[in-house]
Each structure stands twice: as structure tokens, then as C-alpha cells.
Amino acid sequence: MRGGNGGKRWTRSDNRCTTCGCPRRPWLTPKEVAAALPWSARKVRRMLQLGLLPGRKIGTWLVSHQGLDRLMNAGGPKKDNAHD
């Protein structure tokens, strides 16, 4: 067992990740990511399709919260081919 939150930094007051501001769940929808970051849901889906954002498609696209945190800690995507 990894200590409950898997090493993520969350605040108890709002149950949001302090790294990206998304709800604290392992997998997020593009809409949830877009609501927390200055990206549209369309841009999030495009970044997933191009492999610029970690996630998988299981009927719908899901974003890996852990992968999103790593990406944000590294300064965001290195190239932006996912224009709105």
C-alpha cells in the first residue's frame, strides 16, 4: 500500500490536486482537465490523440492524473501541435 494518496499533494479543504487543480481521481475526463487548466476539452482530446498527454481511450478518452501531474511538473507539453 502506498500511503493512501500515492504521493500526490492534495488539500483537504477542496479535494483537488495542488499540482494541476483537477479532482483527485486516478483517471480524469478531458472536460475535467479543461475545467482545471487553461485548455479546452477539444485541445485535451487532441493532445491525447497526438501522445502529448498521457491517457487511454476506453470508449472515451481518459487522462492519467499521475501522468498529467508529471507533465505539469516538467513545465507542460514540450511542443504544442494541439491547437484549438
Q: Residue 73: what pLDDT?
A: 83
- The residue segments making up the domain with residue 63 are 14-73
Residue 56 C-alpha cell reads as 487511454
Q: Is 22 within a domain?
A: yes
| Number of domains making up the chain | 1
pLDDT in tens, 15-74: 777 777 777 788 989 998 888 888 899 999 999 999 988 999 999 999 998 888 888 888
Whether 23 maps to a domain, the answer reads: yes
- Average confidence (pLDDT) over 6-14: 51
In a domain, 30, yes or no: yes
Alpha helices (H) in 10-79, listed in sequence order: 30-36, 41-50, 65-73
Is residue 80 domain-resident?
no
In a domain, 61, yes or no: yes
> What pLDDT score was predicted for residue 67?
85
Residue 84 is assigned to a structural domain of this protein: no
82 located within any domain: no
- Name the pTM for this structure: 0.66
Environment class of 71 (CB within 10 Å of its CB; exposed 0-12, middle 13-18, buried 19+): buried
